[in-house]
Chain A
Amino acid sequence: KAGVTQTPRYLIKTRGQQVTLSCSPISGHRSVSWYQQTPGQGLQFLFEYFSETQRNKGNFPGRFSGRQFSNSRSEMNVSTLELGDSALYLCASSSQTGVNHNEQFFGPGTRLTVL
């Protein structure tokens, strides 16, 4: 099985712009979660989508949004970028069924730099 893929791997934007990141989960996985990783704040949960619905949400401003498509692929969008949004954005997928339902598999991440 192919793993979780994220595109693009690297991105450079300027303040005020918006950005869209993409995540393709492992085949058959219906849940996709997004995390932000920064040196200061560590790994923080952004949101989770399950069967095209946002099921859990972290404590991030409304500039951060996401969606999930019928094939379980997910995108996250950040509008009006700020310098503090520079981070590694990680996507993880899980099956949410069976004995390993809470086991999340992570992609390599998208490194976003905001100038």
Chain B
Amino acid sequence: AQSVTQLGSHVSVSEGALVLLRCNYSSSVPPYLFWYVQYPNQGLQLLLKYTTGATLVKGINGFEAEFKKSETSFHLTKPSAHMSDAAEYFCAVTGAYNQGGKLIFGQGTELSVKP
């Protein structure tokens, strides 16, 4: 069984400040981990993913995440927030062994960026 917990349903940062969105997962098989972003009235866009290999993953728009197996975490960071980063962010997990197209999502974190 798999699950994802995102700590903090709302996070507010000032423009230029560090963005840190927390994600912890549970998985009985080696996980594949994803971060998606959703802008209002739109679908989900993939920011980055971890499958195997390097545990520090870089994505689009300056975001990165680090897979920490010992902490079962996959936190998303960005060194300097931009107004355009305001959106909802979802962490998701699927199993590495032919789990097919079944993503299990966290509850989401809404990011606000103050000028």
Contact surface of A with B, Cβ cutoff 8 Å: 4, 31-33, 35, 42-45, 48, 50, 55-56, 58, 90, 92-94, 96, 99, 102-109
Contact = CB atoms under 8 A, between A and B. Distances in A.
Interface of B: 32, 34, 36, 41-46, 49, 51, 90, 92, 94, 96, 99-108
A86 to B, nearest CB: 15
Given A42-B107, A42-B108, A43-B90, A106 B102 contact: no
A33 B105 contact: no
Nearest to A111: B41
Chain A interface secondary structure, helix, strand, loop or mixed? Answer: strand
B44 A50 contact: no
B105 A103 contact: no
Nearest to A90: B43
A33 B102 CA distance: 7
